Structure 1
Amino acid sequence: MSLRKKIADSEAVLNWVARRIAGYARRVYRNTKWQRVGFEELDRLADAGEPVVVVLWHQRLVMSPFLYPLDKGRICTITSAARAGSMVGRVQHLLGMDTIAMSSHKRHVALSREVLAMTKQGVSIGIAADGPRGPERVLSTVPLIWARTTGKRVFCMTYSVKHGREASSWDRMLLPRVWGNEGVFLCKEWPHQVPRKATEEQTEELRLSLEVAMNDLTAEADRMVGRAPWEPRAK
């Protein structure tokens, strides 16, 4: 194993990086004037101990620990066990969220039991709908699978800020400016249920419906802070 790989896989290094990212997110949260819109029903469910499935785009993960009302309930995100997914999980854990790593070594049945056990304890499930590797803003069927498996309601979430830049990553991660910023947190329930025995056609129709809902909500957040609308990459 090369020295570079040893360093990249070092627990000490990974934890150091995670602490720095978490510190950045905390500073953004503290130093930004936020609006929080559309969370009334989610807050009510969290207060009542009723778990839900939360969906957001990978591009808007930086502020994800501040979207769900952690003062009212718990949420567990399903992340990749790969290095990037592991880093997301570390950061979210530092900021008060639970995480479950999904890897090729973990049987789907075992993962399902783990997730279901958490929802029975009142823990919500969070999913980056186009993660961990994209394509950007192409919704996978993972949120639909967990909505069907758990039988829980689905809420779309996003955030946007007036001042920030997009990283040169596959998802064009939004990186907010730390000081003197304005931002918005948005939440809206997806008004559909996933049938237990959905056909392929039904599944694709629901997938597209949720993808459109996610894009519409994110576009609304960008509009509210005066941010340029998202455009697909040129092919």
Structure 2
Amino acid sequence: MSLRKKIADSETTLNWAARRIASYIRMVHRNTKWQRIGYDELDKLAEQGEPVIVVLWHQRLAQSPYFFPLDKGRICSITSAARAGSMVGRVQKLFGMDTIAMSSHKRHVALSREVLGKMKQGISIGIAADGPRGPERVCSTVPLVWARSSGKRIFGITYSARHGREAGTWDRLLLPRPWRNEGVFLCREWTETVPRKATDEQIEQLRQSLEKHMNDITAEADRMVGRTPWEPKL
């Protein structure tokens, strides 16, 4: 192993980087005038200890520690076990979130069992539905599988900021300007029901419905702050 890789993989280096990223996220949050819209039902459920499934787009991860009312309930974020996903998990832990690392070596059945166990403890689950590697804005069926198994409700959450830039990453990660900014957090329940014995065709229809729901609320948040809504790459 090269010296550079040893340094990059060291706990000291990774924790230092996580603290720097967390500082940026806090600075953005502190120096932005936020609107928080559509949270009444989620806040009530969190206070009652009723877990939900929170879905977001990978592009909007940069303010994800503020998506869920952590003062009212607990949430566990599903992250990748790869280096970038591991860093997301480290950062989110600094804000008081639980995390589960999802790796190619962990069977989906084992992951689902772990997730369902968290929900039985009253802990909500958060997942980037198009992560960890995309394609961008293509929703996976994972949140639907968990909703079918648990009977829990799905809430789509997104944010947008007036001033910011998109990174040159596969997800076009939105990086808000950390001063004199305006932003919005938008939460809206996806109200479709996932049947316990849904067919493959029904699951695909529901997947497309959830994908549209996420794109609709993200476009709405963008318009509210004067950003041009996302368009797929040609």
Q: Could you tell me the TM-score, scaled by structure 2's length?
A: 0.97
Q: Residue 229 of structure 1 aligns with which residue?
A: 229
Letter in 2 for 1:145: V
Q: Residue 139 of structure 1 aligns with which residue?
A: 139
CA distance in 2 between counterparts of 1:183 and 1:93 reads 23
**Mapping of 1:73-222 within 5 angstroms?**
73-222=73-222
SS of 1:26's equivalent in the other structure is helix
Letter in 2 for 1:159: Y
SS of 2:62's equivalent in the other structure is coil
Letter in 2 for 1:30: R
Q: CA RMSD in A?
A: 1.0
1:5 Cα offset (Å):
2.0
Identity %: 77
CA distance in 2 between counterparts of 1:108 and 1:227 reads 37
1:94 Cα offset (Å):
0.6
Q: Deviations over 1:92-141 (max 9, x none)?
A: 11111110011133333332222122111110000001000001101111
Letter in 2 for 1:178: P
CA distance in 1 between counterparts of 2:95 and 2:50 reads 21
More deviation, 135-144/213-222: 135-144
SS of 1:61's equivalent in the other structure is helix
Aligned partners of 2:54 and 2:157 also within 8 Å: yes
Aligned partners of 2:116 and 2:146 also within 8 Å: no
CA distance in 1 between counterparts of 2:135 and 2:92 reads 23
- The number of residues matched between the two structures is 234
CA distance in 1 between counterparts of 2:8 and 2:150 reads 36
1:225 Cα offset (Å):
0.2
1:7 Cα offset (Å):
2.1
CA distance in 2 between counterparts of 1:31 and 1:159 reads 15
SS of 1:63's equivalent in the other structure is helix
Letter in 2 for 1:102: M
CA distance in 2 between counterparts of 1:112 and 1:60 reads 24
Unaligned runs of 5+ in 1: none
CA distance in 1 between counterparts of 2:170 and 2:70 reads 29
SS of 1:117's equivalent in the other structure is helix
CA distance in 1 between counterparts of 2:213 and 2:107 reads 31
CA distance in 1 between counterparts of 2:18 and 2:231 reads 30
1:64 equivalent to 2:75? Answer no
Unaligned runs of 5+ in 2: none
CA distance in 2 between counterparts of 1:107 and 1:221 reads 35
CA distance in 2 between counterparts of 1:128 and 1:51 reads 17
CA distance in 2 between counterparts of 1:167 and 1:47 reads 36
Q: Could you tell me the TM-score, scaled by structure 1's length?
A: 0.97
Q: Give runs of ≥4 in structure 1 deviating > 6 Å.
A: none
